[in-house]
A and B are shown apart, each in its own frame.
Chain A
C-alpha cells in the first residue's frame, strides 16, 4: 500500500516526461514530412547534382545509427565550429527530423511509383499544368497509399526518441531514470515508462493498421 501511494506521487513527473516526448515527436514528425516532400521533389527534379545529393543523403541517413547522428550534431558539430553550448532539445528534434525525412521520403517515393503513368499523361492531355497535376490528380491518390506507412514511420520516430535522453533532454526515458534515483525503485518507474511508450506506439501502429484496411477497400490489384 505504501509502495502504491509512493508510486502515485511520481505519476505527474512521468506524465511531464510523456508530454515532452509527445512534443518532440510531434514537432519532429511534421519537420520530417516537410523534409521528405523536399527530398522527393529533389529526386524528381532531373538536375543531376540535386538528384545525386538527395540520394546520398537518404543513403547516409539509412546507414547511420540515430545515436551517432545525435552525438555528431550535439557534441561534434559545436566542437568543430566552436559554437559553445547548443540546445539539446532542438538538436534532438532536428536529428529525429533529419532521420525521419529520409525514411518518409522513401515511403512517398514508393507510393508515387505505384501510380500508373496514364494519370500524368491524362492530366497533361486535359491541359492541366504541373501544379494542378500534383494538387488535383496525384496527391489525392498518393496520400491514401502512403498514409499507413507514414504512420508506421512516426511509430519508428517515437521508438528512436529516447536517444534524446542520452543528450540530457528530460523526456519520458530520462524522467523514469530520475524517478528511479529518487525512489530507489529500480523497476517501477521504468516499467511505467515502458507502459506509456507501449500505449503511444501501440496506438499509432493500430491507427496504421486501421488505415491500411480502411483505405485499401476497393483498390485491390
Chain B
C-alpha cells in the first residue's frame, strides 16, 4: 500500500488538483458570462433576450459529454492546437454559464419590482441601486445555489476523461494501465470525489442556513 502511494499517489494527486483547477477556473469564467447572460435574459429587448434564452436552453438540454466532444471537434476543424486541459476548462465554463444565468435570473426575478421603482423614486442611480438594493438581496439567493452548481460541476467534470483531459478520472485510467489494481484505484478516486463534492455541498448548506435571514418577498 505504501509502495502504491509513493509510486502512484503523485499521479492521482495531480489529477485531483487538475480537476479542482478545471472546475474552479471554469466556474469563475462561467459565472462572469452567466451574469452577463442573466442580464440579457431579463432585458426588455426581445432579440437580446431570445439569444440568451436559446443559449441557456441549448446548453441545459444537452449532455455535457456531447458538448465537450463538439468543442474538441470544433478545435480540430479550426486547427487550434490548445492544451486539452484548457479546452476542458472552456467546456466547463460554457456549461456553467448557462446554469449560472438561470440561478441569477431566478434571484433577480425574486426581487419585487417595487424595490426598483422605490429606488428610482428616491433618485438613486442605477449603479447605486444595484449595489445597495439589488445585490444584498441577490447574494443570499445566488451564493448557496452557485456553490451547489460548483458541486455539480465537479461531478460532471469526470466526463472530461472521455475526451482525454488529464483530470482525476483520466489519471485513474493511467494508473490502472500500469498497476491493474482496477477496483482499488476506482475506489480511491471515488473517495476523493466524495470528499470534494460532499464538502462543497456542506458549504452550500452552511451558506443557505447562514443567509436564510433574507426571505426575499415573493
A residues apposed to B, CB below 8 Å: 59-60, 62-69, 71-72, 75-77, 79-80, 155, 158-163, 165-166, 173, 176-177, 180, 186-187, 190-191, 193-194, 197-198, 201-202, 205
B65 contacts across to A, CB distance below 8 A? 162-163, 165, 173
Judge whether B108 is part of the interface by a CB distance below 8 angstroms: no
Binary contact track B161-191/A, C-beta < 8 Å → 1, others 0: 1100000010010001000001100110110
B61 touches A197 (CB 8 A): yes
The list of the 7 closest CB pairs from A to B, nearest first, reads A67-B158, A76-B183, A79-B182, A65-B158, A65-B155, A80-B183, A162-B65
Q: How far is B66's CA from A163's CA once the two chains are assembled, in angstroms? A: 10
A contact residues around B154 at 8 Å (CB): 65
Q: Find chain B residues with CB under 8 A from A158 CB.
A: 63
CB within 8 Å for A187 and B73 given contacts A162-B65, A202-B61: yes
Could you write out 9 A-B pairs with CB less than 8 Å apart?
Answer: A62-B198, A71-B186, A75-B183, A159-B63, A165-B65, A186-B76, A191-B70, A193-B66, A197-B62
Are A63 and B194 in touch, CB under 8 angstroms? yes
Cβ–Cβ contact B155 & A198, under 8 A: no
**Cβ-defined contact, A63 with B197, below 8 A:** yes
Report which residue of B62, B156, B187, B194 has the largest number of chain A beta carbons within 10 angstroms of its beta carbon: B62
- Cα-based distance from A118 to B197 in the complex (angstroms): 38
Cα of A201 to Cα of B169 in the assembled complex, Å: 26
Nearest-Cβ distance from residue B91 to partner chain A, whole angstroms: 13
**Which of B158, B162, B198 lies in contact with A63, CB distance below 8 A?**
B198
B57 at the interface (CB under 8 A from A): yes
Q: Return A206 CB to nearest CB of chain B, in Å.
A: 9
Q: Chain B's interface: helix, strand, loop or mixed, by majority?
A: helix
Task: Decide yes or no whether B132 CB sits under 8 A from chain A.
Answer: no
Known contacts A79-B182, A194-B62; is-contact A65 B193 (Cβ 8 Å): yes
Among the listed A65, A72, A162, A173, which residue makes an inter-chain contact with B183, where contact means beta carbons less than 8 Å apart?
A72
Instruction: List 13 additional contacts besides A67-B162, A187-B70; criterion CB under 8 Å.
Output: A62-B197, A63-B194, A63-B197, A65-B156, A66-B155, A66-B158, A75-B176, A75-B183, A165-B65, A166-B162, A173-B63, A176-B69, A187-B77
Taken residue by residue from 55 to 90, chain B's Cβ proximity to chain A (1 for < 8 Å, 0 otherwise) reads as: 001101111111101100110110000000000000
Question: Inside 8 A of B187's CB, which chain A residues have their CB?
Answer: 72, 76
Q: Does B101 contact A (CB under 8 A)?
A: no
Chain A binding surface, main DSSP class = helix
Residues of B within 8 A of A159 (CB): 62-64
Nearest chain A residue, comparing its CB with the CB of B172? A71
Q: Which residues of A contact B197 (CB under 8 A)?
A: 62-65
Alpha-carbon separation in the docked complex, A155 to B169 (Å)? 24
B16 to chain A, nearest CB (A): 13
Contact flag A64-B62 (CB < 8 Å), given A165-B162, A190-B69: no
Cβ–Cβ contact B66 & A194, under 8 A: yes
**What residues of B have a CB within 8 angstroms of the CB of A77 in the complex?**
183
Chain B residues packing against A (C-beta within 8 Å): 57-58, 60-67, 69-70, 73-74, 76-77, 154-159, 161-162, 169, 172, 176, 182-183, 186-187, 189-190, 193-194, 197-198, 201
Nearest-neighbor residue (CB-CB) of A160 within chain B = B63
Distance in angstroms between the alpha carbons of A89 and B201 in the assembled complex = 31
Cα distance A62–B201 in the bound complex, in angstroms: 9
Q: Kindly report which residue of chain A lies nearest to residue B19, judged by CB atoms.
A: A65
Residue pair B62, A190 in contact (C-beta under 8 Å): no
B158 touches A68 (CB 8 A): yes
How far in angstroms is the closest Cβ of chain A from B113? 20
Tell me the smallest distance from the CB of B147 to a CB of chain A, in Å: 14
In the bound complex, CA of A182 to CA of B173 (Å)? 27
Nearest residue (CB) in A for B76 is A186
Closest to B194 in A: A63
Q: What distance in Å separates the Cβ of B131 from its nearest Cβ neighbour in chain A? A: 34
- Residues on the B chain within 8 Å of A186, using CB: 73, 76-77
